[in-house]
């Protein structure tokens, strides 16, 4: 989820746009409201008999947009700092962030996935935000969900990870005038990043 997209969304809301408001929601058909089994907080995808190398462990920081990951050979993804206003999250743990005017924003993760190929050092991370609710005032908010995928080959010394970042966000703005979906620029959905392993902060 790109910080530019949320800043743009906030500008639209605070600017008081009213066009494109959505109508009433259609209720789900009978039988579709049954409780689904809980999603796992984290998935590791690795070939049978292989394990994540110890050299992959550590704090990986992107050269732009503020993304960071802490990886562990036993746990996979320990934590992530999202580009969206530097929110620090862990798998399966919802984060609440105080905002102005006693507002409270909520970030709920879905299943995060780490996939690694030992033979090629290809690493893919998928970070899912199942739900986010960003309050910008008493009557203005942004709701939505997002999936961010990072994929590339780790260097042979395990110090650099050039990765392509692909983002799939969904935003809905709400004001006192109603709710409507916000546009996403397709040109902003793919970016090349370089992650570097740095000493973890104490």
What is the distance in angstroms between the CA of the first residue and the CA of the last residue of the chain? Answer: 27
Query: Is 31 part of any domain?
Result: no
Query: Is 32 part of any domain?
Result: no
Residue entry with tokens 């066009």: 19
Confidence band of 102 (pLDDT split at 50, 70, 90) = confident
3-state secondary structure of 55: helix
Query: Is 26 part of any domain?
Result: no
pLDDT digits (tens, 9 = 90+) for 49-101: 788 999 999 999 999 999 999 999 998 999 999 986 689 999 999 999 988 77
Whole-angstrom Cα distance, residue 39 to residue 34? 15
Confidence band of 1 (pLDDT split at 50, 70, 90) = low
Query: Is 98 part of any domain?
Result: yes
Confidence band of 48 (pLDDT split at 50, 70, 90) = confident
The pLDDT assigned to 12 comes to: 39
Query: Is 13 part of any domain?
Result: yes
Query: Is 35 part of any domain?
Result: no
Q: Which residues pair with 180 in a beta bridge?
A: 173
Indicate if the pLDDT at residue 141 is higher than 80: yes
Confidence band of 24 (pLDDT split at 50, 70, 90) = very low
Query: What predicted TM-score, i.e. pTM, was given to this entire model?
Result: 0.79
* DSSP H helical ranges for the chain: 3-14
Q: Which residues pair with 7 in a beta bridge?
A: none
Q: Which residues pair with 126 in a beta bridge?
A: 113, 149
| Helix H or strand E segment including 70 | strand 68-72
Q: CA dist 1 to 90, 127, 130, Å?
A: 16, 9, 12
Average pLDDT, stretch 39-55? 88
For 10, the domain range is 3-18+42-198
Query: Is 36 part of any domain?
Result: no
Query: Is 28 part of any domain?
Result: no
The pLDDT assigned to 43 comes to: 94
Average pLDDT, stretch 141-164? 96
Overall domain count for the chain: 1
């Amino acid at each position: 989820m790109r910080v530019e997209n949320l800043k743009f969304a906030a500008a639209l809301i605070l600017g008081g746009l009213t066009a494109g408001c959505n109508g009433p929601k259609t209720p789900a058909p009978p039988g579709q409201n049954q409780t689904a089994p809980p999603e796992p907080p984290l998935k590791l995808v690795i070939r049978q008999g292989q394990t994540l190398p110890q050299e992959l462990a550590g704090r990986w920081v992107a050269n732009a947009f503020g993304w960071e990951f802490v990886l562990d050979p036993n746990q996979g993804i320990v934590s992530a700092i999202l580009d969206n206003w530097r929110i620090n999250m862990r798998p399966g743990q919802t984060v609440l962030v105080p905002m102005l005017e006693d507002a409270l924003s909520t970030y709920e993760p879905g299943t995060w996935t780490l996939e690694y190929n030992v033979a090629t050092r290809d690493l893919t991370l998928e970070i899912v935000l199942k739900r986010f609710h960003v309050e910008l005032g008493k009557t203005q908010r942004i709701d939505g969900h997002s999936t961010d995928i990072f994929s590339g080959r780790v260097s042979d010394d395990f110090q650099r990870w050039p990765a392509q970042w692909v983002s799939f966000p969904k935003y809905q703005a709400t004001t006192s005038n109603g709710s409507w979906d916000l546009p996403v620029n397709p040109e902003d959905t793919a970016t090349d990043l370089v992650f570097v392993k740095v000493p973890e902060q104490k």
